[in-house]
Homo-oligomer: A and B are copies of this chain.
Amino acid sequence: MSKAFELDEDRENRLGFEEVIYGAAKDISALSDLLVELQEAKKNALVTKVQREKGEVLLSLFPSAFFHPPSGIFMLQAKTAASTDQPKIAVITAGTSDMGVAYEAFYTLQYMDVPVDIIQDIGVAGIHRLLNKLEQLQTYKILIVIAGFEGALPTVVGGLLPQPIIAVPTSTGYGTAKAGETALHAMLTSCANGITVVNIDNGYGAAMSALRILKII
């Protein structure tokens, strides 16, 4: 138990990306110890799901770090733009309430050096907003589609567009939204073909699965 954490250092060789830190269940001192280790090793770090209060304390400890409260994304050194500039991935949201999850995907991709666009507020209750964007959407390689409530957006997008679609249910909504479970199950039972799904609010996971696809192109 000499070191605070045993990072999976070989991960980059095997998988092509470094280990990312899940921040939600670690307390400030655990996160801080780990970040110091990485800082001393001259590495950057991506921490996800950092709650606002914890992130603000960490920011005071690591003043050059980057923290975006709505998405819970924390980076030791800000890396919020990719080094290439031709976005291949679109992050699409049904409504404003889904923007925190959208930014989790957005910053994760930027951190991984993948340019990405966010296209927001095209939920299916006003379907012309989506239809107006069809031509633009056809230009992306991969579509990450984020929705809460009834989670219908990936189904409609999946019926209109041929690209890989990674659907992300969000916990937006109340009552029968069941903290995202309804959107999750709706996306998994979509009558559109070939949609895949990640965990509720898992913008990070959607970004990583997009990255896996980009690596084989």
**Chain A interface residues toward B at CB < 8 A:** 1, 4-6, 8, 10-11, 14-17, 19-20, 22, 24-27, 30, 49, 70, 94-97, 118, 120-129, 141-142, 148-152, 155-156, 158-166, 171-202, 205, 207-213, 215-217
7 A-B pairs whose Cβ atoms sit less than 8 Å apart in the complex: A1-B118, A150-B186, A162-B212, A165-B209, A174-B200, A175-B180, A196-B209
How far, in whole Å, are A26 and B148 apart by their CA atoms in the complex? 13
Q: A163-B216, A199-B176 are in contact. Are A193 and B125 (CB under 8 A)?
A: yes
Residues of chain B within 8 A of A118, CB atoms compared: 1
The oligomer's copy count stands at 8
How far, in whole Å, are A183 and B148 apart by their CA atoms in the complex? 14
Q: A120-B6, A150-B190 are in contact. Are A159 and B199 (CB under 8 A)?
A: no
Residues of chain B within 8 A of A160, CB atoms compared: 14, 127
How far, in whole Å, are A16 and B87 apart by their CA atoms in the complex? 23
Contact partner, A193, options B20, B120, B185, Cβ 8 Å: B20
Q: A20-B193, A174-B201, A205-B193 are in contact. Are A125 and B184 (CB under 8 A)?
A: no
Residues of chain B within 8 A of A191, CB atoms compared: 94-95, 123-125, 149-150, 152
How far, in Å, is A212 (CB) from chain B's closest CB?
Answer: 4
Residues of chain B within 8 A of A177, CB atoms compared: 185, 189, 199
Among A11, A121, A148, A197: residue with most chain B CB under 10 A: A197
Contact partner, A197, options B126, B178, B197, Cβ 8 Å: B197
B164 A209 Cβ-Cβ under 8 A: yes
How far, in whole Å, are A173 and B125 apart by their CA atoms in the complex? 24
A176 B188 Cβ-Cβ under 8 A: yes
How far, in whole Å, are A56 and B148 apart by their CA atoms in the complex? 26
Residues of chain B within 8 A of A193, CB atoms compared: 15, 17, 20, 125, 205, 208
